[in-house]
Structure 1
Amino acid sequence: MTALLTDDCAVNVQNTLPLSMVERMTLIMEAFDRPLARLTLDEVTQHTGLPRSTAHRILDQLVQCRWLIHAKTHYSLGSLALTLGGRELAQHELRSAASDTLQALALRTGLYVHLASLAGSEIYYLDMFGGRNGQRVPSQVGGRAPAHCTAAGKAILANLSPEYVDNQYSNVIRSGRTDYSITDIVALHQELARIRGRNGLAVERGECFGHLACVGAAIRNCDGPVGAISIVTRHGSPMEPLAPMVLRAARAISDKLMHGSRVS
């Protein structure tokens, strides 16, 4: 009798699971119901009811196809998923959380301030605030730049896994923007380690635009980085006074995101 009940339970569980690969992939993608959601393998398994090995295999395939990103222990929506509809919501959430803080930072320093998110191997500029004395900048809202050439991009990358950095940059890093750009994957990993050693503060001098320099820091939600801010100054200007202001601003925005984030 016990064996019969066990067999019946197994059949019922089998019947409740989606049969096709498309259905299983849909279940997994539905788990990421917010643009900034970050889930572990166990959380995806709990949400979908799929066997752990099945969920892991499909997640790996979705990462390879750019539907998802795998960073350390968490998965999040990738560039393809964001392009098809999630990006506007993610932008709105970040911009809403950051707007007041970045406007105040621009007014206090008189410099331009960027808000950016990571899109594959590039950063995507979500917003800009211009200070009264700011050096004019070539970047613009909606524009992109190689993440490894910018303070905002490096601040985000310092929070991601070395495997992710290798996958994204091993083939593209050789093409720097200026003579100051990092063009070696080993040098990039060393730079990211220095950023982690500075409590997340990223610096670049002339790596993206030769006459400019930036200080940046990542913005985080409950699980990890979702964007970054950077402040722009002249190439030869001292950046030490800007560093604590950038870190405080990034932490303030992160606090706003965490306060409103769903912990899955």
Structure 2
Amino acid sequence: MTLVSAFRAGDEQLSLAELHRRTGIAKPTILRLLAELAEWAVVERSAHGYRLGMRLFELGQLVPRQRGLREAAAPFLTDLFEATHETVHLAVPDGTEVIYVQKLDGRRGPLVSSRVGGRMPAYCTGVGKALLAFGPPERFTEVLAAGLRRRTPRTVVAPGLLRAELDRIRESGVALEREESTVGITCVAAPVQDPQGTAVAAISITGWTNRLDPERYAPAVRTAALGISRTLRRREPA
């Protein structure tokens, strides 16, 4: 797991020397472990080192929570995308961050750096703030304890201001992000909730700040999130 976890976003392959540098594991041990992992197709030999194998991709598609959520959300995300032609995200919480489990790239919007399987801080993203507003209190406490780092001039880094914004999100049912994670980008998000009202995921629409009107798209995003929530509840066993 240490070797597999050494791969990061953008790493198509890693050399033996780089794996040693990142993990601290002795090179002979790395070679032995890689040989075993290769037998299971967890890694593959490449021209200049090693890359992750298809077996990991196959296993990832079997994760129950991700698979069920993506299946329930698929028609709603597609409708949002076709109606707006902006980038659409589906994300879930993981500690102080969010993980994107689905992304539909907009046809006319900015090139958003997010990716399926990628992470972002919860406090400065639309989906993250929706998850914080409708999540358990300890989620917000954990975020504050980790610190609020300024990513752009508009990132909210004062705990009191962030807490007040989460209160407004709970009242309106939608979260807005205006250039808080990336300059020039705005998004509107809404939570996907379980029967108790706790956010288990969030969806968003993202586009250029000078063109995307969050208030215009907020009702559609909120309606889609409610639709996904209802679909998930119907699929839960009695």
**1:231 to 2:210 alignment:** no
**What is the match of residue 179 of structure 1?**
153
**What is the match of residue 133 of structure 1?**
108
For residues 233 and 89 of structure 1, the distance between their equivalents in structure 2, rounded to whole angstroms, comes to: 30
5 Å matches for 1:65-104? 88-104=63-79
5 Å matches for 1:110-129? 110-129=85-104
- Contact map agreement 2:123 2:143 (CA 8 A) in 1: no
For residues 102 and 166 of structure 1, the distance between their equivalents in structure 2, rounded to whole angstroms, comes to: 30
Question: Segments of 4+ in structure 1 off by > 4 A?
Answer: none
- Contact map agreement 2:98 2:119 (CA 8 A) in 1: yes
Letter in 1 for 2:96: S
- Contact map agreement 1:170 1:185 (CA 8 A) in 2: no
**1:248 to 2:204 alignment:** no
Give SS of 2:67's match. Answer: helix
**What is the match of residue 214 of structure 1?**
187
Deviations 1:177-225 (A, max 9, x none): 2111111221111110010121x20001001111100000000122321
- Which of 184, 187, 190 matches 2:164? 190
**1:262 to 2:237 alignment:** yes
For residues 108 and 218 of structure 1, the distance between their equivalents in structure 2, rounded to whole angstroms, comes to: 19
Gaps of 5+ in 1: 1-84
Name the TM-score, length of structure 2 as normaliser: 0.70
Deviations 1:53-76 (A, max 9, x none): xxxxxxxxxxxxxxxxxxxxxxxx
**1:160 to 2:135 alignment:** yes
> How far off its partner does 1:163 sit?
4.0
Deviations 1:127-168 (A, max 9, x none): 001233232211111110000100101001101244431233
**What is the match of residue 28 of structure 2?**
none
For residues 219 and 165 of structure 2, the distance between their equivalents in structure 1, rounded to whole angstroms, comes to: 19
For residues 196 and 222 of structure 1, the distance between their equivalents in structure 2, rounded to whole angstroms, comes to: 16
Letter in 2 for 1:134: G
> How far off its partner does 1:253 sit?
0.6
Structure showing greater radius of gyration is: 1
- Contact map agreement 1:157 1:192 (CA 8 A) in 2: yes
For residues 138 and 153 of structure 2, the distance between their equivalents in structure 1, rounded to whole angstroms, comes to: 26
RMSD: 1.9
Letter in 2 for 1:94: L
For residues 210 and 93 of structure 2, the distance between their equivalents in structure 1, rounded to whole angstroms, comes to: 27
**What is the match of residue 105 of structure 1?**
80
- Contact map agreement 1:152 1:218 (CA 8 A) in 2: yes
For residues 139 and 79 of structure 2, the distance between their equivalents in structure 1, rounded to whole angstroms, comes to: 34
Query: Share of identical aligned residues, percent?
Result: 38
**What is the match of residue 39 of structure 2?**
none
- Contact map agreement 2:176 2:188 (CA 8 A) in 1: yes
Give SS of 1:170's match. Answer: helix
- Contact map agreement 1:128 1:140 (CA 8 A) in 2: yes
Aligned residues: 177
